[in-house]
Amino acid sequence: MKICLSSAVGKRAFTFTETMVVMALGLVVIGGVLTGHLVGARFFQVTSTKLGGNDDARIAIAKLTHDIRMAKVVRIGNGNSTTFVPCGASQAQSGNAIQVYPTMATNNWIRYFKHTDNRLHRMTNSASSVLVLANFITNNAVFTSENFNGQVLTNNENNRVIGLTMQFYQIQYPIIKIGTNELYDFYQVRTKVTRRTLE
């Protein structure tokens, strides 16, 4: 009985040059995959920051827009959780607070105000708690009463437009600071709303 063993003499291994070429190609592919991943992670951070900033503004704008559109009377002024002082005649209709009256009764109101804690608050005459709508606001004059050209009025015109401007120094979700050498130099949300029923 004869047993044949295959000889390893005719088989070749990779040369050193071939091994180096394969390793170099492998490193290029791995480097490309890692670079793509890091660029994607950076874009995700930028996008999630924009979405986080818009989240605060969206909540505030949705509530404010609904309340102003349904209002019978709207007053711009300065106030907090305990007081509200509307802007007087011949004064610029600009301030940190707005008081919305859903009916003609002056004891039924909804107040939005930027407090000294740099937050936009919402409260009603019937609620004991204050709702925080937006955080990290820097500008004091959040609300304005404007004409169709965007000029701030000095009286309570019936067909005026209510302007809301919020400038942020920080955005939540994730927390990103705004300013020089930061991801954003400036972040502002601005909208205009008017009542549906003009009398």
Encode pLDDT of 80-133 as tens digits. 989 999 998 889 999 999 999 998 888 899 999 999 998 899 999 988 788 888
Residues 6+ apart with CB under 8 A from 79: 85, 95, 96, 97, 99, 111, 113
Is the entire prediction scored with pTM above 0.85?
A: no
Three-state DSSP class for residue 47: helix
pLDDT for 51 equals 65
48, 174 Cβ separation under 8 angstroms: yes
Residues 6+ apart with CB under 8 A from 156: 75, 93, 145
Name the DSSP class of 70.
T
106 closest CA partner among 70, 72, 129, 156: 72
Encode pLDDT of 145-186 as tens digits. 998 888 899 888 778 899 998 887 766 655 666 666 766 666
- Would you tell me how many other CB atoms lie within 10 Å of the CB of residue 123? 19
Encode pLDDT of 4-29 as tens digits. 555 555 566 778 888 899 999 999 99
